[in-house]
Amino acid sequence: MTQAFQDSTPLWRQLQATAGVIAAVRKGSSGTAAVEAVGAALRPGVQALAFYVWRNLGRAQALRSQLVSRLPSPGTDALLCVALALAWNEDEAPYDPFTLVNQAVEALKRNPATAAHANFVNACLRRFLRERAALVAATDSNPEARWNHPRWWVERLQREQPEHWQAILAHANTHAPMTLRVNARKSGVADYVVQLRSAGIAARAGLGAVVVLDQPIAVGQLPGFAQGWVSVQDTAAQMAAPLLLQGLGARPRVLDACAAPGGKTAHLLEVSDAEVIAVERDAQRMVRVGQTLDRLGLKAHLRTADAARTQDWWDGVLFDGILLDAPCTASGIVRRHPDVRWLRRESDIAQLARLQAQLLDALWPLLRPGGRMVYCTCSVFMAEGQDQLQAFLARQPLAQVLPAPGHLVPSAALSPSQVGDNPIHDHDGFYYALLEKRSA
């Protein structure tokens, strides 16, 4: 049993709670919300188990289909798939297989809604242990089992990223590094790496304000975190502020639309003397923006509103720069949020693309001639990136495209020579476009 799964709580209770989290995501809840609903004592272990299950759920579901002719009830199926996800790979299984089977059956027995199915699941899992090699081999040709993503997701990437789709999917099942952004107003990257090493924390400097830890730790262990020296932010996300601010002058007026949780808002203020107006429609998420800025000792004008309804919040003064980090499928951040691949439906892409287009069209008139807009999404799908940009350019003849990263292919396996515009490829999947507004 690995350290990540060691817990004094009976395993059956953890399996039961993990199955509840898996079932909640299948019903449409986010993994974050489902895990937060678990009791505090169980939560750390359940989160570790749930992440493991989501990264192996495609294989588990394919194996379940080999074992049963008809789907069991949702609660029973969730627990069966949890057990199969944890047991299928002998080399990486976090528990002894027979202990896992016994505890999975116990979890079913302890729940009145599933108790009647305990013997059925026991028979399925014991058959799996007897025939593991043959059953796993029978699922190897199933793309969901091979890549642990929905079939539609795999097929879409095969069409859109024919050279990189395998690397993207493999990367999505890895563990993301803990990446920091050093607050330029309070420290420098080299100095902060020295601070970390003095505290016994192994780290290395990256590009710009990036510091990468060798191992994740609690933020409370980071030197100066409470004092605002540093924030947690992926390398790809740290490109937004510098990309927008280049060429905008000393004190630009900048809009950060869809600002929560506030990382990019803060970065804009750390590296410039900009006047920043941050807009976020979700009041609770706007609270997080305020808390982030308070910790870092920064100030912005916060507006709780729908960014697309400009009449509700805009004061009529044009912006020098606009950052639109638009709502998207989050398909580029599945290694940090592995539930996303099972939460999303293919139809979500078109729906979110329409929202992105609505935001682009609503905010573009707020940009002064000569001003710049960054449009970005944490997505690997073309509809939320290059396709969205081309459609916008067709609607807006005054928009001029400037050099920007475009689609950042996430893959620790690729060398910089394979992806020329992506030399820091161990990061989340992102798309960046930079637009300048020409005079009429």
Residues annotated as catalytic (active site), given as ranges: 378
Q: List, as one string, the DSSP characters of 55-70.
A: TTHHHHHHHHHHH-SS
Q: List, as one string, the DSSP characters of 63-106.
A: HHHHH-SS---HHHHHHHHHHHHHHS-TTT-SS-HHHHHHHHHH
Q: Calculate the dihedral angle through the C-alpha atoms of 329, 331, 337, 343, rounding to the nearest 10 degrees.
A: 50
| CA-CA-CA-CA torsion sign (271, 277, 281, 284) | positive
Measured distance CA(128)–CA(68) in Å, rounded: 11
Q: Which two tokens stand for residue 363?
A: 């905010």
SS (H, E, C) 226-237: CCCCEEECCCCH
Cβ-proximal residues to 216 (8 Å cutoff; 6+ apart), any chain: 177, 178
Cα-based angle 184, 187, 189 (whole degrees, multiple of 5) = 85
Q: Supply φ then ψ for residue 402, to 5 degrees.
A: -110, 165
* 232 neighbors 299 (Cβ within 8 angstroms): no
Q: Supply φ then ψ for residue 244, to 5 degrees.
A: -70, -40
Measured distance CA(93)–CA(145) in Å, rounded: 16
Cis peptide before 97 (omega within 30 of 0): no
* 48 neighbors 65 (Cβ within 8 angstroms): no
Q: Which two tokens stand for residue 222?
A: 């980071």
